[in-house]
Amino acid sequence: MAEVTKLLSFLRKQAGNRIKRKDLEKAMLGKKGPARLDEQLILLSQLGLIVEKDRNIQISHPFTLSGRISFNKRGLAFVEAPGDRDVFVAPEYTGNALPGDRVEVVLHNRSRERFEGRVLRVLERERSYFRLKVTEAAGARRTAGILLDIRPPLMAWLTTVPSEFLKFVKKDQVLIVALTGEKKHAGYSEYQMARFIRLEEAEDDLERVLLKYGYDKEYPPVALEEQRDVDERSVSDWKERKDLRGLFTITIDGADAKDFDDAISLRKEKDGWELVVHIADVAYYVKQNSPLDQEARKRATSVYLPGMVLPMLPAALSEELCSLKAGVNRLAMSVRMTIRKDGTIKRYDFCRSIITVDQRLTYDGADEILNTGDGHLAEMLRDFQEMSRALKARRVAGGRIDLEIPEISFQKGPVPEKKVRLQSSIMIEEAMLSANTCVAEHLRKNKAAALYRTHAPMDLEKLELLNYFLKLHDIAPIVPENAASLQKALAKISERGNRESRIFQFLLLRSFMQAVYSQDPEGHWALALRDYCHFTSPIRRYPDLVCHRALAGLLRKKDRPAAEDLVNLGRHTSERERKAMDAERDAAKLFGLRYLSGVTDKKMQAILSGFKFDRLFFELENGLEAVVKSEELGGGELVGPDPFSVFIPGLARPAYLGEEWGLELMEVDFENMVALFRPDFKKIPRSTDWKG
């Protein structure tokens, strides 16, 4: 589009200026194509590059965008941009950018739906160190290899290897290197220049994850106020807070928890309950735009790896001063709710408070008291259980999607453990949902600047696939933007049988959109909530801290928080959340592979959960993933008659999602993070009566 190139060039030259619309039209050859010009200006406005008002156009300075860059398998790059868009960057314009780096990009054209650009510079490296597998070891200055845990694969050339390490640098050895930012061309290949850091420590799976995602085990030094007791001498706004230390207050968390964000107080009333949810007042200690706040914002979330936590806040706050530990004064933001017996939240209010937790409970301990205990605490927990059931029943009736998908954890050791949701965990979940909903509604009604937790309805194409499956089973289709219709479908498909229910849940999980943080209160589709935000975990999530500041500003009616760039903050916190989830998933995969590599019985039962043209995916009984490549199934590309089945040459029939197979472990491939199996055809039915 030559006219787009001309427009972008003109605007770049006018960066920082305010121009009249008529002057722009004149520069773009008068009235020619005004509709097309309008379209380009609307898109540039959505990207934040211009602001048009009263026939005047303010052009940003510099006339560039910044965002994370990602690469596909062919080396094509895309830079995230505001408005759920991205900018295409051809391979020759990526410069020294690597996947995940934050880059500055200038636009130069537009093709179809995307603007095209080129990388001007790297603003922030996603990671400092890389794993390099040696492919050629020919002396101190001739060591080359391939960088691991990065897509697309990159070749690297070491500038030098210290002489004391040369004898260890052999083909297939893995080294830890840092990139210099320079490139070297040798023949038809392009190499990243790198410097040697150290040899890789064998089988250090956590270290591998930390390197891949650019995490540092050590929290950087930040200035913290001297830790003191929480009392009227140390808290500047003590007299402005409501003293709630007279309320009987408990926490319920995991046995190994160290940071306690939330506590509850509960009183049964004639027509329902009064629930008070107390959340740690992190905002009091983390002042906006302070060095500590900047580090917390950068991290955006705590990351939980097996046996390791990478906290958003330093331990002196996350595990001590902010943590709602029992028996000591703590500052909180409290949400008081009056809840009717039918689960309706009748009214709510908020206050900045002082609390003292009377008793710390674990989930296991709370469940035991629920089942066998007596006395005041047991009575309170049973009231809490009754209330949470009323809340949940009302929300489910309103269309909330409630899936019971067991998670796999290695937090307690090397053996995979399926997490079981205990009653007390569900009770706390309902209480926190209630607090989050009330805060979100209050923030929206008062037009506060905050981050909301939003979840869009399913993509229509994926919804069509689910409805095709339901049609095969004579079940009413899911209606777009109607979570209740999905809920009804889940109930109906579960009546058809365990296999059909498994298939539907496999498909459903892959159909959900990603929940994100946004400045716009657009609601949460899966929870069927008009208003929703994250407020209850400010120790470990930055969006919660943003909501705390917004609520505190409304309560004080002065000292409102300074304006934030909520568009970019929402994008950043969403991206950091996804990154943390990927890191946690990779760590679980590697720990799972370590477990499988040590089992003596290689034969296992598994459920077919998905397929590609060259492999099948299974879920093992312990929740881990198994892969069977097409060559183990009779060879050739795997194709299927419909989206739910695939033809297996070795069986001479289609295999359907949800089928149970016998498998035998062949190899554990740590580098590609996959456990390879072969089918045990003796333990696979030769025919199936699955409806399809």
501 pLDDT higher than 60: yes
Q: Which residues pair with 359 in a beta bridge?
A: 250
In a domain, 10, yes or no: yes
Written as six digits, the tokens of 230 are 């929480």
Please give the model's pTM, rounded to 2 decimal places: 0.90
At 140, which CATH number? 2.40.50
Same domain, 30 and 7: yes
Nearest C-alpha neighbor of 591 from the set 417, 421, 419: 417
Pairing of strands 615-620, 674-679: unpaired
Range of the domain at 12: 2-59
Same domain, 85 and 114: yes
Same domain, 382 and 251: yes
Least confident window among 121-135, 398-412, 598-612, 631-645: 398-412
Pick the last residue of a domain from 512, 527, 550. Answer: 512
Mean pLDDT computed over 381-393:
97
Pairing of strands 645-648, 653-656: antiparallel
User: pLDDT at position 5, please?
Assistant: 87
How far apart, in whole angstroms, are the C-alpha atoms of residue 45 and residue 48? 5
How many Cβ atoms from other residues are within 10 Å of residue 680's Cβ?
15
309-343 pLDDT, tens digit per residue, is 999 999 999 999 999 999 999 999 999 999 999 99
The amino acid that residue 108 corresponds to is H
Same domain, 333 and 481: no
100-156 pLDDT, tens digit per residue, is 899 999 999 887 778 999 999 999 888 989 999 999 876 656 788 999 998 888 899
Pick the last residue of a domain from 124, 143, 160. Answer: 124
How far apart, in whole angstroms, are the C-alpha atoms of residue 674 and residue 508? 24
User: pLDDT at position 493, please?
Assistant: 84
The pLDDT confidence band at residue 690, using thresholds 50, 70 and 90, is: low
273-296 pLDDT, tens digit per residue, is 999 999 999 999 999 999 999 999
User: pLDDT at position 31, please?
Assistant: 46
551-571 pLDDT, tens digit per residue, is 999 998 776 777 788 988 998
User: pLDDT at position 692, please?
Assistant: 45
390 pLDDT higher than 60: yes
How far apart, in whole angstroms, are the C-alpha atoms of residue 514 and residue 579? 13
Same domain, 96 and 182: no
User: pLDDT at position 138, please?
Assistant: 65
619 pLDDT higher than 80: yes
pLDDT above 90 as % of the chain: 55
The pLDDT confidence band at residue 665, using thresholds 50, 70 and 90, is: very high
In a domain, 629, yes or no: yes
Pairing of strands 660-669, 603-612: antiparallel
Same domain, 288 and 385: yes
Q: Is 216 exposed, middle or buried (0-12, 13-18, 19+ CB in 10 A)?
A: exposed
pLDDT above 70 as % of the chain: 96
Mean pLDDT computed over 31-45:
73
How far apart, in whole angstroms, are the C-alpha atoms of residue 232 and residue 331? 11
Residues 665, 680 contacting (CB under 8 angstroms): no
How many Cβ atoms from other residues are within 10 Å of residue 341's Cβ?
13
In a domain, 368, yes or no: yes
In a domain, 407, yes or no: yes
How far apart, in whole angstroms, are the C-alpha atoms of residue 306 and residue 591? 8
Mean pLDDT computed over 34-42:
77
In a domain, 475, yes or no: yes
Same domain, 270 and 393: yes
Nearest C-alpha neighbor of 670 from the set 204, 123, 2: 204
- At a CB cut-off of 8 Å and minimum separation 6, what does 339 contact? 272, 273, 274, 275, 345, 346, 387, 390, 391, 434
Mean pLDDT computed over 161-188:
86
**Neighbour-count burial for 292-322, b at 16+ CB within 10 Å, e otherwise:** bbebbbebbbbbbbbeebbbbbbeebbbebb
The mean of the pLDDT values for the chain is 89
Mean pLDDT computed over 447-474:
88
185-195 pLDDT, tens digit per residue, is 877 788 889 99
Least confident window among 310-314, 458-462, 585-589, 617-621: 458-462
The pLDDT confidence band at residue 271, using thresholds 50, 70 and 90, is: very high
User: pLDDT at position 35, please?
Assistant: 57
Same domain, 483 and 610: no
620 pLDDT higher than 90: yes
Give me the residue label for tokens 């009330």.
438
Same domain, 562 and 413: yes
Pick the last residue of a domain from 77, 94, 124. Answer: 124
Same domain, 313 and 366: yes
User: pLDDT at position 140, please?
Assistant: 55
In a domain, 205, yes or no: no
Same domain, 546 and 679: no
Same domain, 299 and 335: yes
Residues 503, 509 contacting (CB under 8 angstroms): no
Nearest C-alpha neighbor of 609 from the set 653, 658, 661: 658
Dump the DSSP string for 481-534.
T-HHHHHHHHHHHHHH-HHHHHHHHHHHHHHPPPPEEESS---BTTTTBSS---
Q: What are phi and psi of 405, to 5 degrees?
A: -105, 110
Most confident stretch, 221-235, 249-263, 505-519 = 249-263
Higher pLDDT, 170 or 75: 170
User: pLDDT at position 472, please?
Assistant: 81
Tell me the C-alpha to C-alpha distance, in Å, between residue 575 and each of 94, 115, 271.
Answer: 21, 21, 44
User: pLDDT at position 52, please?
Assistant: 87
At 83, which CATH number? 2.40.50.140
In a domain, 220, yes or no: no
User: pLDDT at position 227, please?
Assistant: 67
The pLDDT confidence band at residue 219, using thresholds 50, 70 and 90, is: very high
In a domain, 371, yes or no: yes
The total number of structural domains in the chain stands at 6
Tell me the C-alpha to C-alpha distance, in Å, between residue 677 and each of 143, 167, 503, 630.
Answer: 35, 36, 21, 11
Residues 99, 179 contacting (CB under 8 angstroms): no
How far apart, in whole angstroms, are the C-alpha atoms of residue 50 and residue 679? 59
Give, to the nearest 10 degrees, the angle between helix 542-556 and helix 291-299: 130
- At a CB cut-off of 8 Å and minimum separation 6, what does 585 contact? none
